[in-house]
């Protein structure tokens, strides 16, 4: 049985831990400086909470789930544990070369998950600094809760993260916009969030039968009808250009974090 240490137990790390917990060949250990999130996650997934980092010696895999901005301090704290061990990093904007350097390991699997993994509907991007059977096994475990997509380079993973890693927030924002619009039309509408969620769920399920989104749009609209007026207005509102600009902003922020990390050692 492989031992996996989760160094950090935020939302993304928790999603990956959930996926790994479905594979009974992995035994999970959770660590956070404050202990609170580690205890909660360990209890939820039948893992082991680790209070002292010395208890994390001799793990098979170390999952980096802390904030990218804390990577230098984390390196100093954990480097003696991670040396020559397999590392799984989900740190945004920090490439495999930098991770390898800071944690003294040539065995780095870099992933970018998203939170729908909790519902077995996630997407996980990954890249690696070498081919490895252990990497393949870990990604096979992830497949229980997500579609996986291999990126040839760190740069490609960073770009696609702005769609799949960030994507759930975009969807929730669109839901929020529709709910606010609904309440503007009918301030007394009860359970508005529940109804808007059902709207998204039902509409998404329709794509399982037909992947052509334009065809699905056409089935809801008709020439001279109500819906086509709304769609034409959305097309004319530069909403797509707004998404392009949003992605560009996310990419700029990725570069800023990466540049800052490159200057650290």
> pLDDT over 70 for what percent of the chain?
99
What is the per-residue pLDDT for 5?
98
Going by pLDDT thresholds of 50, 70 and 90, the confidence category of residue 240 is confident
What is the per-residue pLDDT for 77?
95
Question: What is the pLDDT of the chain when averaged over all its residues?
Answer: 94
More confident residue, 168 or 263: 168
What is the per-residue pLDDT for 259?
86
What is the per-residue pLDDT for 264?
65
Backbone dihedral angles phi then psi of residue 26, each to the nearest 5 degrees: -110, 135
What lies within 8 Å, CB to CB, of 3 at 6+ separation is: 26, 27, 29, 58, 59, 60, 61
What is the per-residue pLDDT for 132?
93
Tell me if 45 sits within 8 A of 21, measured CB to CB. yes
Encoded tokens for 179: 């709910």
Residue 265 has pLDDT above 70, yes or no: no
Average pLDDT, integer, range 237-258: 90
Supply the pTM of this predicted model: 0.92
Give one DSSP letter per residue of 54-88, joined into a string: GGGTT-SEEEE-S-GGGHHHHHHHHHHHHTTSEEE
* Of 258, 255, 247, 239, the residue nearest 98 (C-alpha): 258
Letter string b/e over residues 86-102, b meaning 16 or more CB atoms within 10 A of that residue's CB = bbbbbbbbbbbebbbeb
Query: Whole-angstrom Cα distance, residue 109 to residue 60?
Result: 13
Residue 236 has pLDDT above 90, yes or no: no
Going by pLDDT thresholds of 50, 70 and 90, the confidence category of residue 230 is very high
Virtual torsion, Cα 141, 70, 74, 149, nearest 10 deg? 20
Residue 1 has pLDDT above 80, yes or no: yes
> pLDDT over 90 for what percent of the chain?
88
Q: To which residue do tokens 């949003």 refer?
A: 246
What is the per-residue pLDDT for 216?
94
Encoded tokens for 112: 């970018």
What is the per-residue pLDDT for 263?
72
Q: In sequence order, what are the beta bridge partners of 6?
A: 30, 63
Residue 134 has pLDDT above 90, yes or no: yes
Residue 48, helix vs strand vs coil: strand
What is the per-residue pLDDT for 93?
93
Kindly tell me the burial class for residue 77, based on how many C-beta atoms sit within 10 Å of its own C-beta (0-12, 13-18, 19 or more). Answer: middle
Going by pLDDT thresholds of 50, 70 and 90, the confidence category of residue 18 is very high
The predicted-structure confidence for 159-189, as pLDDT tens digits, reads as follows: 999 999 999 999 999 999 999 999 999 999 9
């Amino acid at each position: 049985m492989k031992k996996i240490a989760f160094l950090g137990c935020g939302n993304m790390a928790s999603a990956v831990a959930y996926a790994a917990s479905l594979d009974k060949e992995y035994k999970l250990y959770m660590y956070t400086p404050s202990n609170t999130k580690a205890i909660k996650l360990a209890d939820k997934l039948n893992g082991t909470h680790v209070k002292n980092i010395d208890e994390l010696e001799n793990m098979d895999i170390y999952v980096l789930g802390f904030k990218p901005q804390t990577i230098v301090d984390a390196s100093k704290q954990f480097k003696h544990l991670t040396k020559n061990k397999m590392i799984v990093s989900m740190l945004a904007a920090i490439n495999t070369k930098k991770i390898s350097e800071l944690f003294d390991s040539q065995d780095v699997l870099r992933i970018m998950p998203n939170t729908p993994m909790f519902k077995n509907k996630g997407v996980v991007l990954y890249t690696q600094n070498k081919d490895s059977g252990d990497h393949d096994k870990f990604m096979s475990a992830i497949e229980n809760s997500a579609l996986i997509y291999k990126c040839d380079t760190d740069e490609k993973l960073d770009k696609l993260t702005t769609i799949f890693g960030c994507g759930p927030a975009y969807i929730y924002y669109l839901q929020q916009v529709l709910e606010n619009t609904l309440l503007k039309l009918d301030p007394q509408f009860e359970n508005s969030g529940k109804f808007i969620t059902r709207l998204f769920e039902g509409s998404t399920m329709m794509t399982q039968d037909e992947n052509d989104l334009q065809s699905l749009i056409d089935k809801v609209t008709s020439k001279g009808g109500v819906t086509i007026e709304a769609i034409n207005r959305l097309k004319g509102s530069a909403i797509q250009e707004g998404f392009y600009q949003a992605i560009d902003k996310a990419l700029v922020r990725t570069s800023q974090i990466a540049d800052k990390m490159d200057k650290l050692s």
